[in-house]
């Protein structure tokens, strides 16, 4: 799947919120792309607009394409008579408790997907649903399929949701903060399950999270979002060991390091994200950036490629930027 130049706006009483302002990425089969950023940076809106889950109005996709297997899926949910949602693209939501129907048996909810998309009979679909629950390592799947969501723990509900998302063997799986509401021990179980399923089925995963530990565990590629834009993108190694955008560095500094030797203080990112009613004219990170230059306030930073797969949108990589500024930032091999 590849997304190109996506723009999403919302009409509100206060004016137009430009939630996503030109996001492009692609994810290959069997690989995981993690989208990282703070709340309100537009990461959820990005994937929801791909899935057609943005209520319109007030939402509006003003520009952009999302190509899935050669077809643009933005704005059209029915392709060749089939709804791509839940079929070619599966989605896992953050809060499993409120994402499942409390008045339907879990097995029936999974079976419904198969009946709608694959034309299974109810009986066939239920049998497959029980298999799927087994594949997502729910003990006693036949018994569990007969139960309602309230009888499941948070971790088991998330497994049931994964079972539902992979029921139609989608080529892309979107996981929107799948473990944010879950304890660390259960989180480890769910992440292992996702890795396992990916190895078996070769599904491409788009993982949205703000936990850099989860990113390190899961991601092949990472896109860092800030104020509706991708500010840096590269492989997991690029982002973690060769961070090239001050915001990426800021996020890393704000997390406690688990290295006992390297005892350094937490470096919070001061200030708050910009007002999206009126996004800044220049770089959105200008107000919080410790390395901000005069030019950053007025001009959108260009994209600077550091290697063929790694780029950062920051003026600091311009040839005329002072060399001594921000020594921790990776400047590319030639710099």
Under the binding rule (CB under 8 A), the answer on residue 251 touching another protein is yes
Kind and range of the H or E run holding 68: strand 59-68
Q: How far apart are CA 296 and CA 287, in angstroms?
A: 10
Least Cβ distance, residue 82 to another protein (angstroms): 36
Note whether 68 binds another protein by CB under 8 A: no
List of residues 6+ apart from 169 with CB closer than 8 A? 201, 203
Determine if 334 is a binding residue for another protein (CB under 8 A). Answer: no
- Contact window for another protein (CB under 8 A) among 17-25, 188-196, 296-304, 317-325: 188-196
39 scored as a contact of another protein (CB under 8 A)? yes
Window of 69-77, 87-95, 205-213, 292-300 that interacts with another protein by CB under 8 A: 205-213
Contact in structure between 32 and 218 (CB atoms under 8 Å): yes
Range list of H helices, the chain: 43-50, 96-99, 106-118, 122-135, 141-145, 154-165, 184-201, 212-218, 236-241, 246-253, 294-298
Q: Which residues contact 284 (CB under 8 A, 6 or more apart)?
A: 226, 227, 228, 229, 273, 274
Q: Contact between 276 and another protein (CB under 8 A)?
A: no
Q: Which of residues 91-150 bind another protein (CB under 8 A)?
A: 139
Q: Which of 82, 147, 201, 211 binds another protein (CB under 8 A)?
A: 211
Q: How far is the CB of 304 from another protein (least distance, A)?
A: 23
Residue 210 touches another protein, criterion: CB under 8 A: yes
Select 94 or 171, whichever has its Cβ closest to another protein.
94
Residue with tokens 């409120």: 98
β-bridge pairing 204-209 and 15-26: unpaired
Binding residues for another protein (CB under 8 A): 38-39, 139, 153, 155-156, 183-189, 191-192, 195, 210-217, 219, 236-237, 240, 250-258, 260, 265-270, 272
């Amino acid at each position: 799947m590849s997304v190109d130049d996506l723009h999403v706006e919302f009409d509100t009483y206060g004016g137009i919120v430009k939630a996503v302002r030109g996001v492009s990425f692609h994810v290959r089969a069997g690989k995981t792309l993690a989208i990282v950023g703070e709340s309100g940076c537009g990461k959820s809106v990005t994937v929801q607009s791909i899935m057609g889950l943005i209520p319109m109005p007030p939402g509006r996709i003003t520009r952009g394409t999302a190509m899935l297997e050669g077809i643009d899926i933005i704005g059209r949910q029915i392709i060749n008579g089939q709804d791509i949602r839940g079929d070619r693209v599966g989605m896992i939501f953050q809060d499993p408790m409120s994402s499942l129907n409390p008045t339907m048996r879990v097995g029936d909810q999974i079976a419904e997907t198969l009946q709608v998309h694959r034309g299974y009979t109810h009986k066939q679909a239920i049998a497959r649903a029980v298999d799927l629950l087994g594949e997502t390592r729910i003990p006693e799947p036949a018994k569990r399929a007969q139960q309602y969501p309230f009888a499941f723990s948070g971790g088991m509900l998330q497994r049931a949701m994964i079972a539902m998302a992979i029921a139609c063997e989608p080529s892309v799986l979107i996981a929107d903060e799948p473990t944010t509401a879950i304890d660390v021990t259960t989180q480890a179980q769910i992440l292992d399950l996702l890795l396992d399923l990916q190895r078996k089925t070769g599904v491409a995963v788009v993982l949205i999270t703000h936990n850099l530990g989860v990113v390190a565990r899961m991601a092949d590629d990472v896109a860092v979002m800030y104020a509706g834009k991708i500010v840096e993108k590269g492989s997991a190694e690029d982002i973690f060991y060769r961070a090239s955008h001050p915001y990426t560095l800021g996020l890393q500094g704000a997390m406690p390091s688990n290295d006992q030797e390297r005892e350094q203080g937490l470096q919070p990112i001061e200030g708050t994200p910009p007002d999206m009613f009126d996004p800044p004219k220049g770089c959105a990170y200008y107000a919080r950036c410790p390395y901000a230059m005069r030019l950053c306030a007025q001009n959108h930073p260009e994209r600077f490629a550091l290697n063929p797969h790694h780029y950062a949108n920051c003026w600091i990589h311009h040839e005329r930027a002072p060399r001594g500024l921000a020594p921790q930032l990776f400047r590319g091999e030639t710099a």
